[in-house]
Structure 1
Amino acid sequence: MARYPTRPPLNSSADGGGVAAVDRALMLLAAFQDGDRSLSLQELAERTALVKSTVLRLLVSLQHFGLVQKLDDNRYALGSGIARLHRVYTASFGLETVVPPVLRTLVETTRESASFHVRQGDKRLVLFRVHSSQALSDHSNAGDLFPLDRGTGGHVIMAFSGARGNLFDRIRRDKVISLSGDRVPELAGVSAPVFDASNNLVGAITLTMPTMRYRQEHVATVRAAAAEVTRRLGGSFERAGAPADAAVD
């Protein structure tokens, strides 16, 4: 008798040469969702549509490799092996691998210039920059330093460094800001924060354009770009961003 059902699971890789048993094991790992501290055998069976006997056998293998742990109450939680793999994954993807492709897509979508700012002392550094192809645009470059207290990118960095005030409260709430003429007259900017795997601020994605070309839809586009970089870095955009206790001077 076959150890596992012969019918492959939904979304199986078997047709492409994959192994159905591996698919089932990965389905168990994927059954854990945001907010789940542990799952019972019944919950795992229901979420994967697998019979309990199959789930139990797969859990033994996952426990062996530290990907799942069995708790004292007979519920199951993700194991330390997941954290180790996560560390390896995040270490293999530097900002230079993740950020520029998203900036290029942002520029292709909006036809405006996009930058990635990080804090450097009391200023912000343009770490990456992709220019608009349009003749009329601002022309900052990677390596430029700008004030931290002016410009949307600086405001985002300050907000998630603990700065106090209505503006910073709004940035922390919305995780995006758009302003016109804040640093340079007749120049508009939209910025959103990027977080790492520990949900700490890494920097800010900023889209800049002449005020006359500003579009409200840029706000959602920039926020989505920041969320995508955060996801690729292993963070959770919606859950990240608790402000630090200390205010920025």
Structure 2
Amino acid sequence: MTEFEAEGENAGDRHFVTSLQRGLRVITAYGPDDRALSNQALAERTGLPRSTVARFTHTLHKLGYLVHHARASGYSLAPRVIELSRAALVSTGIGELARPSMEALSELGPFSVALGVASDGGIRYLELARRPEAIVLNLDVGALVPVLQTAIGRAYLSALSETRRAALLRRLKAEEPALYDAQAPLLVAEMERYQSEGYVTSFGCWWPELNAAATTIRFVEDGDPLLLSISGLSSVLTPEKVCGEYAAALMNSARVIEGRMRRRYSE
């Protein structure tokens, strides 16, 4: 569940701490290429009032999660945030459990293998495995990719309940109506593919020369799935290759990772 979904869906939950959710929204507003962001920039990214953002950045700075840059009049993430992410990756075991299967999958063809999770209206890359010749886009761990036109985003939408999917689609349509209208028919077809075949595709929908396929990894019942994708040049990762060969390998890798994660969580 993304931060925006959470606030709306839990509006009537007296145990839900909205201020905590909004503070976390400020931290997750940073992208991998961001350095110092002003309160105004953070307000635009989070949809929160600037005065509210200013209180959160002041508090997060005092707690050591943000660094203040007086000359730039902004804040950057502090190393303490890295400790949070490191602790999460270690405790869940995502890296050690997923990496072997991702590397094995990447050896099957000239494509990148990505493991992602929903984050702030997009999909955040947690792990990447690829051969040097498979680099198409200059993306790395921490990159945030869009939902509507990517396979990994379509896999996420396909796995959501109807209520949550409808809420997220309303938001995406409000943000980029032209893009939504262009992608909606393809999205419907891909969600049908997910229900019947277990995976989704994106052929030239994000970048003309990029094709991709993705599926989900559901290792806990309460929570968003992990997302596993392959992507590569359209000249080599053709629709025929994807549907006839690589999709089966993708889903097999996902099931192996899912089994490892479920065993880890049942220990």
Range class of TM-score, shorter chain: 0.5 to 0.7
Q: CA deviation at 1:178?
A: 2.2
| Structure 2 gap segments, 5+ residues each | 1-89, 167-187
CA contact (8 A) 1:194 1:201 kept: no
Question: Is the contact between residue 148 and residue 155 of structure 1 (CA under 8 Å) also seen in structure 2?
Answer: yes
Q: Could you tell me which residue of structure 1 aligns to residue 200 of structure 2?
A: 177
In structure 2, the residue corresponding to 1:183 is in which secondary structure?
A: coil
* Equivalent position of 2:24 in the other structure: none
The 8 Å contact of residues 191 and 200 in structure 2, kept in 1 or not, is answered as no
Map 1:160-175; keep pairs closer than 5 Å: 160-162=159-161, 163=165, 165-175=188-198
| Alignment check: 8 A CA contact 2:110 2:134 kept | no
- What is the CA distance between 1:198 and its match in structure 2? 3.1
CA distance in 2 between partners of 1:139 and 1:105 (Å):
21
**What does 1:33-112 align with in structure 2 at a 5 Å threshold?**
94-112=93-111
Residues 107-130 of structure 1: CA deviation (Å, up to 9, x unaligned): 112232110110002111011111
Question: Equivalent residue for 1:232?
Answer: 260
Return the offset for 1:144.
0.5
The higher relative CO (CA closer than 8 Å, separation ≥ 6) is in: 2
Whether contact under 8 Å (1:194, 1:204) holds in the other structure is yes
Residues 35-65 of structure 1, C-alpha deviation per residue, up to 9 Å, x if partnerless? xxxxxxxxxxxxxxxxxxxxxxxxxxxxxxx
Quote the Cα distance in structure 1 between the aligned partners of 2:143 and 2:220. 27
- CA 1:122–1:168 in 2, change beyond 3 Å: closer, same or farther? same
Answer with 166-175 or 143-152: which moved more.
Answer: 166-175
Change (3 A) 1:93 1:135: closer
- TM-score computed with the length of structure 1 as normaliser: 0.53
Report the 3-state secondary structure (helix = DSSP H, G, I; strand = E; otherwise coil) of the residue aligned with 2:214: strand
User: What percent identity do the matched residue pairs reach?
Assistant: 15
Determine which structure has the larger helix proportion and give its number.
Answer: 2
RMSD (CA atoms): 2.3
The question of whether the paired residues in 2 share the 8 Å contact of 1:196 and 1:202 is answered with yes
Q: Stretches of 4+ moved more than 6 A in 1?
A: none
Count matched residues.
145
Contact 2:113–2:228, Cα closer than 8 Å, also in 1: yes
Report the secondary structure of 1:182's partner residue. coil
* Deviation sequence 1:207-245 (CA, Å, 0-9, x none): 01101101231111111111111111128xxxxxxxxxx
Give how far 1:132 is off.
2.3
1:87 matched residue in structure 2:
none
Q: Provide the residue aligned with 1:188 in structure 2.
A: 211
Match of 1:118 in 2: 117
What SS does structure 2 have at the residue aligned with 1:204? strand
CA–CA separation in structure 1 for the residues paired with 2:261 and 2:135: 33
How big is the shift at 1:166? Answer: 4.3
How far off its partner does 1:173 sit? 3.1
Instruction: Point out the more displaced range, 112-121 or 127-136.
Output: 127-136
CA distance in 1 between counterparts of 2:199 and 2:222 reads 16
**Do the aligned partners of 1:138 and 1:208 also contact (CA within 8 Å) in 2?**
no
Take 2:254 and 2:222, find their aligned partners in 1: how far apart are those partners?
Answer: 13
Distance across 1 between alignment mates of 2:135 and 2:219 = 34
Shift of 1:133: 2.2
Q: Distance in 2 between matches of 1:121 and 1:190?
A: 22
What is the letter of the counterpart of residue 129 of structure 2?
A: V
| Distance apart, 1:92 and its partner CA | 6.6
3-state secondary structure, aligned to 1:134? helix
Cα drift, residue 136 of structure 1: 5.9
